[in-house]
Structure 1
Amino acid sequence: MNIIYAADFGIVPGHHTDYPARIAALVRSLAPRTTVKFAPGLYDFLGGAQTVHRRVSNSEQAAQLKAAVLLQNCRDITLDWQGAVLLFHEDLSPFMLLECRNISIENLSFDWAVPLSAEGTVVHSNHEFVDVMIDSALYPYTVRNGKLLFLRENEKPAALFAALEFDASTLQVRAGAGDTFPRVSASLQSAGLVRLTGDFKVPPLVGNVLVLRHGARIHPGLLADNCTHIQLSHIHVRNTGGLGMLFQFCEHIDICRVVFAPALDSGRKVLSGHDDGLHFSNCRGKIRVENCEFRGLMDDPINVHGTSVRVLEKLSDTVLRCAFIHPQSYGFSNWARSSDEIAFLEHKTLAELGTAKAVSYQFCENSEKEFTIEFSGPVPSALCPGDALENLSNTPSLVCRYNHFGSCRARGLLVSTPKPVLIEHNLFESSGSAILLAGDANEWYESGACHDVTIRNNTFANCCTSEYQFCYGVISIAPEIPYRSQNQKFHTNIKITGNTFLANDRALLYAHCCGNLVFRGNVVFLSSRFYSTPFTNIRDCSCPVIERNEFTGTVLSLEKVRAMFNSSGR
């Protein structure tokens, strides 16, 4: 392994407009099997981002994406930042990996001088309006025509579109407050004080912190597209303007000790990322996520799924015209490759009608949403326009262990893949469901029935305290099936064993249309929020096994649960 030093290319800590150009020159010089060492310190990126055209999963699409560090068609490279801090001043992706193989990035943190979301403190509240104190030095803003506009560096002002309340004493999403913030109009009361007027069904509490959400999700903190063997370790993500890290059409991903958490030394209290933490779309091979931490994200910490598409027309016995439907996921030139196994789904029941091998895949003329796909044999005769396809080859296995899912908006871990999934030795403090097994072909088009999931030896601490979509229990098995077919089971072989639950007023397990479901040997303590409620809610599942679970009746504090997790040897 060769070792070179970034300083030899003029890349040293400081304040520069041409860091991206200097890094691009360094990258062009790299031979395979090279480690690049960056000197520790602050790298203040004052501009000069590189631009590329690329469609990005589960994001708003832009004509051009901007990247600070761009690697394309690189092989066997390690970027060791040795504890450096990267600071940005525009909406961009700090890292972009395109068509790369065996890339490691390690030992750094990145942030924005002006965060791409904001915080405020509630100083007065009722059902009609909320007065919020906002530090304009940390979060520059103005009020114009009834809108609260945040002044991003080198970007157009971005309007407030939602807010999330955190308890100031626990720094967790306030119980019962998730996604209850209404549409509002804004007026400036005095310097630093903004009044938000609306129909507040759940008025925020005085002293609590509001995360004030603004801006579109365009740039992931890291984008890896069509890559294989990616390793990330010891990275602190302090802020992002879109998804935290997005891996699409990648194979074999290893993530260790990546932390999404607020930059407390910059005056922030709860806010980290703009949306999800780790997002895996249409990946293959093995995904491993270990010893990571997620706090203050505005969407799910981990999401693993494929993308289903709608059938528009049968052009012949072997050729279909199809379309990407969800507006945040389209234009994928490699959604299907030759010899990929494609499943045909009846969209109302999600029943699989059969599978076939893809022969060719190409976009229709002047379209990034419609395409034709040819198969090696005839498509099922029962397949109709409106039904769906999913690519079974674009499905990874997952190992998720020793992670701390702290308080974030929405759910903790979403999984939709038929390959083996192991979830063990994690601590969940999710404000919605800790784990969601979903899958659909009608709304989000996030595909993937689960057929081998093991959830064992985890701790679920007072989860599901707010209402979010599909959050029907601490563990929610909730595929979107508009019309249930008798005896049909969507998810199968789900084993939930040896876990510890700190229960509140929500079901520990909700399961719908699941086969071979086991809930065994789990221990249930009570939280201070416990009320009498069924511990399981099972619907249309075949012969579920629920046995040998221990309900202690003991009240356990969250602090005690955290201490148990931290002493577990992770």
Structure 2
Amino acid sequence: MNKFLKLILLSIAFLQLTHAQTVVNVVDWGILPGKDATLELNELIASLKGQENVIVNFPKGTYQFYPENAFEQYRAVTNHDNSLKRMAFPMFGLNGVTIEGNDSEFIFHGRLCPFIVEGGQNITLKNFSINWEIPFQAELKVIETNKAENSFTAKVTTNHKYKVKGEKIYFQHYNWEDPIGQNTPFDPETKSPIWDSRPYSFNISKAIATDVGNGQIKFKNAMKKLPPVGTVVVNHGPQGTNRLVQAIHLSNTKDTYIENVTIYAAGGMGLIAERCENIHLNAYKITSSEGRMSATRADATHFLGCKGLIKLENCLLEHMLDDGINVHGAYVKVAEYLGDNQFLCEISHWQQWGLIFAEPGDEVTLISRETVLPILKTSVKEIKILNEQKFLLTVNEVPEYMPKGLLSFENITWNPDLEMKNNIIRENRARSVLVTTKGKVTIENNYFSSQMHGILIEGDNNKWYESGGVTDITIKNNVFENIGYGDDTRYPLYISPLLRPEQRLGEDKYHYNINFINNKIKSFNGHLVYAKSVKGLVLKGNEIILDDTYPTGAQKTPLVFDYCENVSLEKNKFSGFSWPITIEKVDSDTNFKLKKNEGVSR
């Protein structure tokens, strides 16, 4: 064997050796089912720093995690409430680590955050479930109503102890108690929020609670309308403390893969990711566990300021108390222009305080907050963090004349592509999909059935400050079933910037290039699309069929186009509707094509 060939073989052997995976069995660290494993797990995770290609192996079992001996750190978690947080899996700066659960159950107690993955690369989480012994939401099943005294009696169906003090109910958690706060009524027959849920929300200030024993409480003057017997009222708890404990938090990671992970509960979102590159979810599930109506307190998945590819496939997202998926950036306010290309900026929404808006080299756009449209694209020269709310931003170019009026910045480097295929999002409060990214978006072969809009393409610079305008979205071959049940303002596809009265549409359009093709919509009201400030909208080959699961009838206009351009409405078919399917156009006649649509009134 010549020396050159021998050198090649030695190099291959070295590469194989360096890439060989090390298996760490948690049993060797004293991590066993049936005991608090938090301290040992924290120490195991800390030992992985500097290692690569490690599998942390949990033999199948039920593992318990408590907060008393957990590592803690003050954490700013976007779209949550910042706080001192304790963690079970504090995975900081790790590379090539896999958590293999072998279908184990991970049971958490109290305000303990399961997974924090920060600054890592090539992290894999697979084959386990996340749950809490006492869930964050207490649930009340209505067993009796009394119209004469405007009261109903309900039974606590979750494993919460409770007390009635001063005619108010308080649910006991691990080491705190929650009064009635934000709440959602569910229908146990559909496992979804109840039809027209608005009259069945607690009036917290007027409700009078009386403990009648046996886990039952009588409520008087609690709602505008007495809830039907069987209704399950889910108590989210008070705002400010009900988004403290997300299940999985990804921050500044690259190439994260999550497979066959089921989340039954969380005191916040199932998964929240910020400033991450490439995230792949496969067979990831959010669902309620047996005996409970609700799953996570907030979104199933949420992505802010990411890039690369976000991919969801074969996922089931149901029973969460907010959206299925939300992908967006953030508008940050310009508080003051200081000269010399430097701006004093303010993170706009209090639940985004602490986010990393940009780093040197990122491209950003200066935005008018009046029209929510771009003024100038530039790049970041320097950024100096002052505190979790404010920072100094120095850019390489500014306008020759600084515009008058309120301004913002948007980061346009961190805009991911999104691919969603073969997923189910259903039976949740709020929307199925929210997406405002300038990347390429494909949403294909999914099933959607949510209480509010099916797919919301919004962007706003005044409320949540979620940027921005989209440029390339294809939505095809999906099923939308009874979207927006009980509310006449909901649509399978809703596209519009969210504008307050002091804001206005600018000369340019906000959203571009949206294709909604060959989708099947089962609908009680005939709604298809609401579009505002869009250039390039194709609705083709969609089938809209009357469905009588819920009360049927005409509500708002099924097809609304406001300040749109280059719209094509072709070969769509409405069937079974006894009322006219009409089109409303407001300043939208520019290149508006209407061709071969069945059941549409011109």
TM-score, normalised to structure 2, is 0.87
Query: Are positions 1:144 and 2:165 aligned together?
Result: yes
Query: Are positions 1:540 and 2:563 aligned together?
Result: yes
SS at 1:315's partner residue? Answer: strand
- Which residue among 307, 317, 320 is the counterpart of 1:297? 320
* Residues 277 and 178 of structure 1, relative CA distance in 2, 3 Å threshold: farther
Deviation at 1:166, TM superposition (A): 1.5
Q: How does 1:295-444 map to 2 (within 5 A)?
A: 295-332=318-355, 334-364=356-386, 367-379=387-399, 381-384=401-404, 386-444=406-464
SS at 1:408's partner residue? Answer: coil
Opposite residue 173 of structure 2, the aligned amino acid is: R
Distance in 1, matches of 2:232 and 2:427, equals: 13
Deviation at 1:277, TM superposition (A): 0.8
Distance in 1, matches of 2:210 and 2:569, equals: 56
Name 1:119's counterpart in structure 2: 139
Q: How does 1:173-212 map to 2 (within 5 A)?
A: 173-177=193-197, 181-184=201-204, 185-191=207-213, 192-198=215-221, 200-212=223-235
Distance in 1, matches of 2:191 and 2:395, equals: 53
Distance in 2, matches of 1:485 and 1:260, equals: 38
Distance in 2, matches of 1:466 and 1:450, equals: 29
Q: Deviations over 1:276-301 (max 9, x none)?
A: 11011111111001111111111111
SS at 2:366's partner residue? Answer: strand
Q: How does 1:513-524 map to 2 (within 5 A)?
A: 513-524=533-544
SS at 1:21's partner residue? Answer: helix
How many residues in Structure 1 have an aligned counterpart in Structure 2? 543
Q: Deviations over 1:136-173 (max 9, x none)?
A: 7x1221122232211111x3211211221111222121
Query: Are positions 1:475 and 2:499 aligned together?
Result: no
CA contact under 8 A between 2:210 and 2:218: conserved in structure 1? yes
Distance in 2, matches of 1:442 and 1:380, equals: 26
* Residues 193 and 278 of structure 1, relative CA distance in 2, 3 Å threshold: same
Distance in 1, matches of 2:342 and 2:114, equals: 41
SS at 2:181's partner residue? Answer: strand
Deviation at 1:201, TM superposition (A): 3.1
Query: Are positions 1:276 and 2:283 aligned together?
Result: no
* Residues 10 and 411 of structure 1, relative CA distance in 2, 3 Å threshold: same
CA contact under 8 A between 2:170 and 2:180: conserved in structure 1? yes
- C-alpha root-mean-square deviation of aligned residues, in Å? 2.0
Name 1:19's counterpart in structure 2: 38
Deviation at 1:3, TM superposition (A): 2.2
SS at 2:75's partner residue? Answer: coil
- Which residue among 444, 449, 466 is the counterpart of 1:446? 466
- Which residue among 52, 71, 79 is the counterpart of 1:58? 79
Distance in 1, matches of 2:266 and 2:302, equals: 13
Distance in 1, matches of 2:351 and 2:271, equals: 16
* Residues 506 and 384 of structure 1, relative CA distance in 2, 3 Å threshold: farther
Opposite residue 320 of structure 2, the aligned amino acid is: L
| Greater Cα shift, 500-509 or 106-115 | 500-509
Name 1:561's counterpart in structure 2: none
Query: Are positions 1:462 and 2:485 aligned together?
Result: no
Q: Deviations over 1:459-484 (max 9, x none)?
A: 0011111449xx54221112113433
SS at 1:398's partner residue? Answer: strand
CA contact under 8 A between 2:364 and 2:379: conserved in structure 1? yes
Q: Deviations over 1:214-259 (max 9, x none)?
A: 1520121111111111110101101001111111111100001111
* Residues 161 and 401 of structure 1, relative CA distance in 2, 3 Å threshold: same
Opposite residue 552 of structure 2, the aligned amino acid is: F
Distance in 2, matches of 1:455 and 1:541, equals: 19
Name 1:231's counterpart in structure 2: 257
Distance in 2, matches of 1:11 and 1:39, equals: 10
Q: Deviations over 1:177-235 (max 9, x none)?
A: 15851423342241122233346334321112111221520121111111111110101
Distance in 2, matches of 1:46 and 1:280, equals: 28
Distance in 2, matches of 1:500 and 1:143, equals: 49
- Which residue among 70, 95, 105 is the counterpart of 1:75? 95
CA contact under 8 A between 1:162 and 1:183: conserved in structure 2? no
CA contact under 8 A between 2:526 and 2:546: conserved in structure 1? no
Percent of matched pairs sharing the same residue: 26
Name 1:563's counterpart in structure 2: none
SS at 1:15's partner residue? Answer: coil
Distance in 1, matches of 2:110 and 2:341, equals: 47
Distance in 2, matches of 1:317 and 1:99, equals: 33
Q: How does 1:27-66 map to 2 (within 5 A)?
A: 27-29=46-48, 31-47=51-67, 48-62=69-83, 64-66=84-86
User: Runs of 5+ in structure 2 lacking a partner?
Assistant: 1-20, 579-602
Name 1:512's counterpart in structure 2: 532
Q: How does 1:213-224 map to 2 (within 5 A)?
A: 213-214=236-237, 215-224=241-250
Name 2:183's counterpart in structure 1: 163
| Greater Cα shift, 120-129 or 189-198 | 120-129
* Residues 70 and 459 of structure 1, relative CA distance in 2, 3 Å threshold: same
Distance in 2, matches of 1:343 and 1:180, equals: 43
Deviation at 1:496, TM superposition (A): 0.2
Higher CA-based Rg: 2
* Residues 442 and 179 of structure 1, relative CA distance in 2, 3 Å threshold: farther
SS at 1:8's partner residue? Answer: helix
Opposite residue 535 of structure 2, the aligned amino acid is: G
Opposite residue 43 of structure 1, the aligned amino acid is: Y
Q: Deviations over 1:396-443 (max 9, x none)?
A: 110011111111011111101111111111101111111101101111
Opposite residue 401 of structure 1, the aligned amino acid is: K
Query: Are positions 1:134 and 2:156 aligned together?
Result: yes
Distance in 2, matches of 1:486 and 1:478, equals: 13
User: Runs of 5+ in structure 1 lacking a partner?
Assistant: 556-570
